[in-house]
Structure 1
């Protein structure tokens, strides 16, 4: 039985570090950088990472004719969104007043400039560095990862889902924010698991072996 994992390559971010981390945990699974629709369509599971501004990422996705392949993958096979790959799943982002893919309902909001920590000191934006993720709901991708484990974040924007029921992880930066969402065959996380040491690799390992029930 094949297990081909496509890492969507639309020219934004260091996708090779994601692919390298996946290969480290993938066992016999094949990991490919997918820059054409057919590589996404023929994969058994899809990882949708990225870094950069939302408007630029959406533009590159369209220039490379990958939008529909990503939408179809999110409806039909195990799908993991990472960082901007989480934000792009939603309806709209304040970053560049950009429309997203609309796979999940909700908005992407910027952290306020006047955020303060528990000590009363102003927090810098972007939120950059290690932070704890509270597992608000159980999920197969949390297997082997302790609640409130630390993951590595780099972002100025965070998702605000219309449906709180899809939130499976939260972190805190001046206020609680959504760190991970899941619905059916889709799991997406704001942090960078490929930069998050043992627990990040465990999450990727869990994805490699995840077989959600598809409708």
Structure 2
């Protein structure tokens, strides 16, 4: 779904705290090569050291969502992306295994300037080009969820992360990490899109709306 761009003020006021639901908002960008593979980055330190993550991060105060997607691409991959070349691919409302509510806005693009590379070596060890339809087993839970939503072509998803993610977040040993990876494989690595009836290792996925 192509994003709509309207005139914006040069200096936006930072929104003040008030009543209502205000979760942490993440913005990620799926940079897609001509062969359909997407750029993922491998985390170099805890939490989730060694796991593949999406390109992007938290939305900053007074920042527009599409601007955050472009910033993440520049900071992490060293590429220049214009907001006009972004496609809004979906929104994911998810809860961590501890119950914390989060929102993740997903954009995609096939156009950029520069050569993608790892420009944050302290945070990531390498850039990996992966098949969105068959993500590697060592992806983070959020990475699996976003890629499956993108491949399914759904605009909105609601998901509870599997409890096995706790072991990775706490820096547990290899056996626990392998169990967590297996849980994610079962939850999101299956062939075809997930449905609301999928229940594996505490994971729940509810997709509404299609492109």
Higher normalized helix content (fraction of residues): 1
TM-score (norm 2): 0.25
